[in-house]
């Protein structure tokens, strides 16, 4: 089964583009001069943000729904190295998942990361074929708050 996705991108001047699906829109920009401020993320930052969003959602779904882990929050720090020569592609990516909760099983987190990479996150699955992606996690223990009486 396949699904067609459509995006319309409209040039806005300079290096600014407005892209959307007819419902949601995002501005992407690229600084031409050094120190120039932009009106949005660059296309490569948007790609990294897509990987971060996709992987954090799939990891959270596995941890909460499939593995019943007591996760109270999940963040991701995504970093990438970009080549300076054209094409200025990403040459490596590092993902660090910050898993919040009390008593979260590290083995479950490792399994959730593996499932995200191999089965659930299409962005991760597509990018890993051409760009090395390292993933790690850190458990952030948060005490369970007792119910007030």
Q: What is the CATH number of the domain that holds 122?
A: 3.30.300.20
Query: Which residues, other chains included, contact 62 with Cβ-Cβ below 8 Å and sequence gap of 6+?
Result: 111, 112, 115, 116, 120
The domain in which residue 30 lies consists of 1-40
**Do residues 19 and 51 both lie within one domain?**
no
Position 148 pLDDT exceeds 90: no
**Do residues 95 and 118 both lie within one domain?**
yes
**What is the torsional sign of CA 81, 127, 136, 62?**
positive
The answer to whether position 147 is within a domain reads: no
User: What is d(CA 46, CA 59) in angstroms, rounded to the nearest whole number?
Assistant: 20
DSSP-assigned states of every residue in 54-91: HHHHHHHHIIIIIS---EEEEEEEEEEEE-SSSS--EE
Instruction: Give residue-wise pLDDT tens across range 12-38.
Output: 999 999 999 999 999 999 988 888 889
Position 147 pLDDT exceeds 60: no
Tracing tokens 């708050």 back to the chain, one arrives at 145
Radius of gyration in angstroms for the set of CA atoms belonging to the chain, rounded to a whole number: 18
Instruction: Give residue-wise pLDDT tens across range 43-97.
Output: 999 999 999 999 999 999 999 999 999 999 999 999 999 999 999 999 999 999 9
Q: What is the pTM of this model?
A: 0.90
The answer to whether position 149 is within a domain reads: no
**Do residues 49 and 24 both lie within one domain?**
no
**Do residues 18 and 83 both lie within one domain?**
no
**Do residues 68 and 105 both lie within one domain?**
yes
Percent of the chain past pLDDT 90, that is, above it, reads 89
**Do residues 105 and 134 both lie within one domain?**
yes
**Do residues 101 and 132 both lie within one domain?**
yes
Task: Work out how many domains the chain is built from and give that number.
Answer: 2
**Do residues 48 and 11 both lie within one domain?**
no
User: What is d(CA 29, CA 39) in angstroms, rounded to the nearest whole number?
Assistant: 6
Q: Report pLDDT for 1.
A: 85
């Amino acid at each position: 089964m396949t699904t067609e996705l459509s995006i319309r991108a409209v040039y806005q001047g300079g290096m600014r583009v407005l892209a959307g699906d007819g419902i949601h829109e995002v501005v992407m920009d690229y600084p031409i001069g050094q120190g120039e401020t932009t009106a949005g993320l660059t296309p490569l930052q948007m790609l990294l943000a897509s990987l971060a969003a996709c992987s954090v959602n799939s990891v959270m779904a596995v941890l909460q729904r499939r593995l019943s882990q007591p996760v109270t929050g999940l963040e991701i720090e995504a970093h990438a190295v970009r080549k300076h020569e054209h094409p200025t592609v990403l040459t490596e990516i590092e993902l660090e998942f910050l898993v919040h909760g009390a008593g979260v099983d590290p083995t479950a987190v490792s399994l959730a990361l593996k499932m995200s990479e191999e089965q659930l996150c299409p962005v991760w699955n597509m990018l890993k074929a051409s760009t090395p992606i390292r993933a790690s996690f850190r458990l952030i223990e948060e005490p369970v708050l007792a119910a007030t009486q």
